[in-house]
């Protein structure tokens, strides 16, 4: 009954590989997000989707491509991984409008590029 | 660009001492939220403040939104070891390309 679930929890991969992270929410929220948290704990938004439509596309290398097949899922595909991509990636969801009351985060995916 | 800074960046306190983290935005915020992230965990929503000058309490935690809606504070009375973690504020801006910006965070360590 997890509200926002991400897989995998840990991902160790070599430079140059392509990898995907999946996210699903069962809260009925209409907006989903990807955040990157670096080693200094800074949380930076990468993408935001509202009802499958991309609404925020932060300055992120185009090696990162989000995909939202429906409003309950938002996946993140990363091509040609680099050392600097190592971080914790959090998926989150929220309900926009008057019922907005904070983000619900997934448990995160710790990506290590070696 | 729009920024939300928090001070201090780190704070170590003795168990039982009080703790305050301050959140300052370069632009006016329509509302502000606070989150707590335990070590190794994910951010968890604590509270939302909307009105200018608003003060809300949750047990030992007191949250305040500034009159100008550009700053906020979180005060913890008599800290406990369970308060350890990173506290983030996050603001919804009234203009600009970002709808929601997270603060830089304050890492709290409580020494028993």
Can you spell out the DSSP letters for B1-63?
A: ---EEEE-SEEEEETT--EEEEEEESS-EEEEEEEEE-TTS-EEEEEEE-STT-EEEETTEEE
Q: Dihedrals φ, ψ of A93, to 5°?
A: -140, 160
| Confidence band, pLDDT 50/70/90 cuts, at residue A102 | confident
Tens digit of pLDDT per residue, chain B (112 long)? 668 999 999 999 999 999 999 999 988 998 999 999 999 999 999 999 999 999 999 999 999 999 999 999 999 999 999 999 999 999 887 765 556 789 999 999 999 9
Measured distance CA(A10)–CA(B23) in Å, rounded: 32
Measured distance CA(B24)–CA(B42) in Å, rounded: 23
Measured distance CA(A51)–CA(A29) in Å, rounded: 9
Measured distance CA(A11)–CA(A18) in Å, rounded: 11
Mean pLDDT of A65-93: 95
CB B33 within 8 A of CB B90: yes
By DSSP bridging, strand B19-25 and strand B71-76 are antiparallel
CB proximity A43 to B under 8 Å: yes
Residue B33: its chain A contacts at CB < 8 A? 102-103
Mean pLDDT of A27-50: 91
Residue A14 distance to chain B (closest CA, Å): 23
CB contact under 8 A, A45 and B35: no
Measured distance CA(B26)–CA(B1) in Å, rounded: 8
Measuring CA to CA, how many Å separate B41 from each of A68, B32, B47?
25, 21, 18
**pLDDT for the residue B11:** 97
Residue B37: its chain A contacts at CB < 8 A? 41
Residue B100 distance to chain A (closest CA, Å): 9
Residue A56, pLDDT > 80, answer no
Q: Is the dihedral of CA B95, B100, B101, B105 positive or negative?
A: positive
Residue A49 distance to chain B (closest CA, Å): 12
**pLDDT for the residue A51:** 81
Distance of CA B90 to the CA centre of its chain: 8
**pLDDT for the residue B84:** 98
Burial of B40 (0-12, 13-18, 19+ CB in 10 A): exposed
Nearest beta carbon to residue A107 from set B42, B90, B98: B42
Of B84, B70, B77, which Cα lies nearest the Cα of B22? Answer: B70
Higher pLDDT, A5 or A51: A5
Residue A56: its chain B contacts at CB < 8 A? 97-99
């Amino acid at each position: 009954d997890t509200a926002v679930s991400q897989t995998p929890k840990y991902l160790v991969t070599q430079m140059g590989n392509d990898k995907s992270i999946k996210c699903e929410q069962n809260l009925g929220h209409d907006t989903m997000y990807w955040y990157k948290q670096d080693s200094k704990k800074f949380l930076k938004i990468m993408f935001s989707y509202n009802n499958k439509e991309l609404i925020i596309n932060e300055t992120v290398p185009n090696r990162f491509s989000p995909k939202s097949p429906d409003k309950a899922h938002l996946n993140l595909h990363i091509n040609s991984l680099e050392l600097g991509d190592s971080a914790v990636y959090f998926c989150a969801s929220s309900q926009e409008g008057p019922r907005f009351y904070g983000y619900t985060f997934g448990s995160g995916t710790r990506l290590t590029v070696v | 660009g729009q920024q939300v800074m928090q001070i201090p960046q780190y704070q170590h306190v003795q168990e039982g001492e009080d703790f305050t983290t301050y959140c300052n935005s370069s632009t006016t915020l329509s509302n502000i939220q606070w989150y707590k992230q335990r070590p190794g965990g994910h951010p968890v929503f604590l509270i939302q403040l909307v009105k200018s000058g608003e003060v809300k309490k949750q047990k030992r935690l007191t949250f305040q939104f500034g009159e100008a809606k550009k700053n906020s504070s979180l005060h913890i009375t008599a800290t406990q070891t369970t308060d350890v973690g990173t506290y983030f504020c996050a603001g919804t801006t009234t203009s600009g390309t970002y709808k929601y910006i997270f603060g830089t965070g304050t890492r709290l360590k409580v020494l028993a």
